[in-house]
With several copies, the nearest count.
Chain A
Amino acid sequence: MSIIPTLKKDYIYKLAKQGKRIDGRGFNEYRPITIEPGIIRKAEGSARVKIGNTQVVAGVKMDVGEPYPDTPDSGVITTSAELIPLASPDFEAGPPQEDAIELARVVDRGIREAEVVKLEELCIEPGEKIWIVFIDIHVIDYDGNLFDCASLASLAALYTAIVPAEKFDLGENYPLPMRGEPPISCTAAKFNNALVFDPLLDEEEVAEARLTVATDAKGDLHAMQKGLSGGFTVDEVKKIIKGAIVNGREIRKKLQESIEKVKQNDT
């Protein structure tokens, strides 16, 4: 580790001991969040989400395809993420690397396991024709906490998406059928025994472990993913879950407000 990162690490550790973070936030506090659904005209659904400087655009496209043999009556979701070199000097062009794959799969599980999309209503002809929902995550600016930013953008894009039935001669367009209240992903990082939510890039770079927890409105769990090569105690895991439930409630409210605004504009 060269000299600058070591200095930065020492500084972040020192602050953490005093209960402080480099941008002045509390340990459980998120940066400002903005959610702008509907910004891509060519997409069936889309959203730009900023958490602090981190910025993600998610787009939903839909196509007609064949169902999987084991779920003949059900639509299909496919989630991809690209860590394009636009967003960071460290991202490289080329096929998705491990980090992008993990990001896509964690976002995907958050959506799939909570059955946010009513896939059973995306069957056109049982065993023959169903709707495929493509979620594409484009990271635009990377300053930490991609998991939360990407899940939130994907949810905002899904909740405001329109099924393009007319394009395929399948009747009138209609809103993508979604279930009520989505689970929200909240991520905490651990370094030097401190647990901080919504880590900055600088904090991620010195972190030992990371935990992402998706909780629903009732505080139930729907997906978890531990990352990095450090470990957690059982108590730390529980503490993070509790923090995720609290933060999740607040973020869910923001998400719902942004969706409402779009729906009102449409009518």
Chain B
Amino acid sequence: MKLIDEEGRRLDGRRFDELRKIKIEAGVLHRAEGSCYLEWGGNKVVAAVYGPREAVPRHTQDPVKAVVNARYNMAAFSVDDRKKPGPDRRSREISKVTSEALERVIITDLFPRASIDVNIEILDAEAGTRCAGLTAAAVALADAGIPMRDIPVACAAGKIGAEVVDGEVKGGYVVLDLGKDEDNYGNADLPIAIAPRTDEILLLQMDGHLTYEEFEQALDLAMKGCHIVSKLQREALLNKYRPDLEENL
């Protein structure tokens, strides 16, 4: 499958450094303490935050800080072939790395023995759900008023269009934010999450094949993507709170 043409135009018409269309809305749920609805290309994600509240069962409590439990979950109908409900190994790994990334920015030592529960539901999936989920979770955390050092944000870069001959890889383009076919037929994927104020890397995974130079390009591109998405996060939060703010003027 030819993922990119001679002029650097991708299957869906994007340039190498273009993101898919992203829409973020904060505070969409009644019951949750903070929530976010996010569309990123064909991905549809809802995130909801409960807590800080007493961690249960008791033996999960940390006496000096809050525990951050992110739970990434795919709806059975969110993928091509129906997924059996409940966590599989992939979901559990994503939940783990997402929890670790979010924990870094939350000021957890304010809430000893508490848990902060972050629920991420993928309703519609089309490549890049872990970045979409973490990005939505961060907005939901902010919406819930959880004290954070920064609002984390995630984005991926990758490589497409290389030819592979018996393990040898030739050519290829480093591009931002892989779409569905690019994810399936591409050569490498590098999802990251950062704290945008300091550019500290909170999540980093990679698979596929990148030369060291390509890695540097991809990391740089993903960073830039993160900063663009970060602005959309802040706008979404502002949109929710602006009416309140204006009222108080």
Q: Which residues of B pack against A, CB within 8 Å? A: 29-32, 42, 44, 46-48, 50, 53, 64, 68, 71, 73, 75-82, 85-87, 89-90, 92-93, 95-97, 99-101, 103-104, 117, 119, 121, 123-126, 166-167, 169, 190, 195, 199-212, 215-216, 219, 223
Contacts and interface: CB of A to CB of B under 8 A. Distances in A.
A241 B96 contact: no
A203 interface: no
19 contacts: A60-B77, A82-B85, A87-B31, A101-B92, A102-B96, A134-B76, A134-B82, A136-B85, A141-B31, A221-B209, A221-B212, A223-B207, A225-B204, A226-B97, A226-B202, A226-B203, A231-B201, A231-B202, A233-B201
B119 A84 contact: yes
Q: Name the residue among A39, A224, A231 with the largest chain B CB count within 10 angstroms.
A: A231
A1 B62 CA distance: 9
A127 interface: no
Contacts of B101: 229
Contact of B210 (A84, A211, A220, A231): A220
A85 B97 CA distance: 19
A237 B202 CA distance: 11
Contact of A40 (B78, B89, B223): B78
B104 A231 contact: yes
Contacts of A28: none
A228 B100 contact: yes
A245 B93 CA distance: 26
A175 interface: no
Contact of A109 (B42, B76, B207): B207
Interface residues of A, number: 68
A41 to B, nearest CB: 5
Contacts of B199: 233-234
B208 A61 contact: no
Interface in A92-121: 93-96, 98, 101-102, 104-105, 109, 112-115
Given A136-B76, A179-B167, A211-B204, A229 B31 contact: no
B123 A40 contact: yes
A113 B216 contact: no
A53 B82 contact: no
B103 A229 contact: yes
A50 to B, nearest CB: 10
Contacts of A32: none
A42 B204 contact: no
Contact of A84 (B68, B73, B166): B73
Given A53-B31, A231-B195, A232-B200, A42 B209 contact: no
A218 B199 CA distance: 29
Nearest to B166: A179
A126 interface: no
User: Top 7 closest A-B pairs, CB basis?
Assistant: A59-B77, A231-B200, A53-B30, A224-B206, A61-B82, A86-B119, A136-B76
A35 interface: no
B209 A114 contact: yes
